[in-house]
Amino acid sequence: MSGKSTLPSRSLVTLVMGAAFCALHAQQLPELGPAPRLQVDAVPQRLAQPQPVAPAAVSFNPLNRNEVALAYQNIFVPQLVPSGWNGNVGSCNPGTTSAAYHQATIDRVNYFRVQAGLPGNVTIFNGSEPAGTQAAALIYSAQHALSHDPPSNWACWTQAGHDAAAKSNIALSYGSDTAAGPNAVVMYMDDPGSGNGMAGHRRWLLYPPQAQMASGSIPYNPQWAANALWVLGPFGSRPATPDGVAWPPRGYVPWQVLPKTSNRWSFSWQGANFSAATVSMTRNGVPLGAPTYETIANGYGDNTLVWLPQGVTYVQPAADVTYHVTISGISGGGAPSTISYDVIVIDPYAPGDLIFDNGFD
């Protein structure tokens, strides 16, 4: 034997332990907190004094394949801009992100709203809400935890952050910026996690009367990435949604924005009763297996049915894929008992037919 120790050096042990720590948190995160919830009878009360309707910041026709493809390339993708964050978690300074980053986050919300057939006219609050959401994101980043009611003994706690937390979608990630800025909006739309079967985060983003939001973000490295997106009003007037709000949406949709992590599809209609509703689907005309259903829970925007389909693929399609959805057994809210629509999944960088000509049955 050479007499050399067979134990690893201290620096190697430190490196391995550090790598293990990072790997552990990478496996645990990103994560979403539960979606904020209003009592069912509180939703109309927040419509009593509607906010002004703003001009659309994002606009395209989701029934036109060419416009959907160009919107993904020219609106969705460019929304990934540097955060410009100037705070410091160590000193509990929430700082601010750049105006462009904040606007990109809200415009990503508008992108998804237009894709779902809603106006893309959500604007940023001009009051204290942006500072509150930034303070909430700081608490989450410093504490490495999420809560809509963070206790006062949490790191970097402030009253402003606490108050904004109660009214926001919230997200946290370690090892990437998945839970910050525009990326967090993608998480909210996918809505993964065992406690998010009602797809509440998505429902608030696609709640038709949304008028103003605010986003606070802490980017990753070395601190944990976090986001708080104010979604609980006050709301604006309700735009026309004669066919309800579906996600994935009626019309053309890029495969990149499908809910590939959660596999949760949803359909919303104000005041509808989905307790007896069932869903059948086909893929390019071939029937798919019966879906499973998430527990129905109201109080997250409009009443919504959420299901997990069988046979949906979330990879880049070689050609456009048409999913035909039929929902039966709906009652209440003035909704028809049966609603059918087509979801056409596209590769936005590949050519195809330009005009959607099927629509609702």
- Do 205 and 269 reside in the same domain of the chain? no
Give the domain-ending residue among 230, 260, 278. 230
What is the rounded average pLDDT of the residues 74-80?
Answer: 90
Judged by average pLDDT, the poorest of 14-18, 70-74, 275-279 is: 14-18
What is the rounded average pLDDT of the residues 16-30?
Answer: 43
Residue 1 predicted with pLDDT over 80: no
Residue 294 predicted with pLDDT over 80: yes
Task: Write the single-letter amino acid at 240.
Answer: A
Give the chain's domain count. Answer: 2
Structural domain that includes position 45: 21-230
Residue 48 predicted with pLDDT over 50: no
Which value, to the nearest 10 degrees, does the dihedral of the CA atoms of residues 200, 206, 211, 214 take?
50
Give the domain-ending residue among 198, 230, 262. 230
Of 288, 250, 290, nearest to 268 (Cα)? 250
Residue 353 lies in a domain: no
> The domain that contains 129 carries what CATH number?
3.40.33.10
Q: Phi first, then psi: what are they for 56, rounded to 5°?
A: -65, 130
- Do 266 and 218 reside in the same domain of the chain? no
- Do 219 and 269 reside in the same domain of the chain? no
Q: Which residue has the higher pLDDT, 268 or 49?
A: 268
Residue 279 lies in a domain: yes
Rounded distance between C-alpha atoms, residue 94 and residue 316, angstroms: 39
- Do 304 and 279 reside in the same domain of the chain? yes
Two structure tokens written together for 344? 């056409």
pLDDT band at 10 (very low <50, low <70, confident <90, very high): very low
- Do 71 and 188 reside in the same domain of the chain? yes
- Do 130 and 185 reside in the same domain of the chain? yes
- Do 139 and 262 reside in the same domain of the chain? no
Cα of 202 vs its chain's centroid, Å: 5
> The domain that contains 326 carries what CATH number?
2.60.40.1220
What is the rounded average pLDDT of the residues 230-259?
Answer: 95
pLDDT score of 41: 53
Residue 240 lies in a domain: no
Two structure tokens written together for 292? 């499973």
Residue 45 predicted with pLDDT over 50: no
Rounded distance between C-alpha atoms, residue 48 and residue 44, angstroms: 7
List C-alpha distances in Å: 227 to 52, 74, 105.
Answer: 26, 24, 10
Find the helix packing angle between 99-115 and 181-190, rounded to 10°: 30
Rounded distance between C-alpha atoms, residue 131 and residue 61, angstroms: 34
Pairing of strands 251-254, 338-346: parallel
- Do 71 and 153 reside in the same domain of the chain? yes
Residue 47 lies in a domain: yes
Give the domain-ending residue among 176, 207, 230. 230
Residue 13 lies in a domain: no
- Do 93 and 40 reside in the same domain of the chain? yes
Judged by average pLDDT, the poorest of 12-26, 93-107, 277-291, 323-337 is: 12-26
- Do 153 and 293 reside in the same domain of the chain? no
Instruction: Give me the chain's average pLDDT, please.
Output: 88
For residue 55, how many other CB atoms are within 10 A of its CB?
9
- Do 217 and 251 reside in the same domain of the chain? no
Tens of pLDDT, residues 99-147: 999 999 999 999 999 999 999 999 999 999 999 999 999 999 999 999 9
Q: Residue 117 contacts by C-beta under 8 Å, 6 or more apart in sequence?
A: 62, 241, 243, 245, 249, 250, 251
Angle at 100 between CA 186 and CA 258, to 5 degrees: 15
Two structure tokens written together for 57? 């910041």
- Do 225 and 267 reside in the same domain of the chain? no
